Chain A
């Protein structure tokens, strides 16, 4: 695995550039620590590969979330807008307020294959759908 760190520290030392490989070094210890902590924390907070739905400019992104059939999945809703939203789904019986610039997570499934709609109860024009697909190898 190759790790690329974006350089944003002061130019005490010029980055070394090797042939066929770009290595940008960060010389600010603080930045490296922050990135390391960020990677660890985001890994710890949720199960691996937990799907994320972002609320941005009064839209769900993505507005179609695919999850596997028969699996309990933890979904993270991240609100980047300045107003709170209420993620709600009659089809899945889910209802959760997502604070402005905040994030919440909840569980979905295990569910049968199908389409399960959701919306923002504070702005019903914002809609999306959770698509539950049969797991690979199952037909």
Chain B
């Protein structure tokens, strides 16, 4: 009971961060900043989903964005009003052209479909370990992309799928992000999470304890797929349109960078990484637009944001290979510092 409560409290403290950010933005920020924050929340949900598998099992996952795409497409296709669907998806299979779901039903179905697909792919992917598993995840991303691009009747292929009713907003997003923070943290500290982390540290020793590594990896993969699928659904309902390239390498690398930068071994790392990259990105975008600062006209530099992303990853990983936060959660780190200070005080008093 005690460790469970600790983890819940730590998760709740961390979950306050997206709520605080959301409230501040709602109170003080401009429309464009709200848009940036909305996207930040969606990225955060995806990064947390990625942390669940990659952070705990320490197997790099390059295919996670496929689940974002599946969630977004399923929800989008279900939610587009029939009137619009008859123009853009007249030949949709499975009788989908005459189906119109509300946002809640569409979300539920989309997350369920994503979870089911994650389960089936997980059966294959968790058979591999190490670099082989990573390559299979990459292959999976490519497969899903090819399906999006070529299944014209279902997805409109490379053209944009539009007309999805805008059904989410910053309030929804911030609460969902906060809930996912807590879920990821509770998973990390749960029996399964601890066993998975142990197996990533020492496969042999964990197996000798009777840990069923394959089953745990599968479970984490499915849970992660569900979270990322939810992120995709929110994307569909926020933007209202999408195309296959919304869910390909660019998003893959952006979210991976967020996770690795913050430190993939902890949920705090995922949150901090998402915040840092978003803030850095927006700042670079601002500089890129050749602003005048304190009377100095800056030159226009194209590609600064991409350069920034690559550069920051190189610098951070060179100086702090475990990411900014490292292996520990922030609350654990603070607790340890306090304990150490107390012990030092006690030793000093004794001496």
Tell me whether A and B are bound partners.
Answer: no
Interface residues of A (CB under 8 A from B): none
- Interface residue ranges, B against A (CB under 8 Å): none
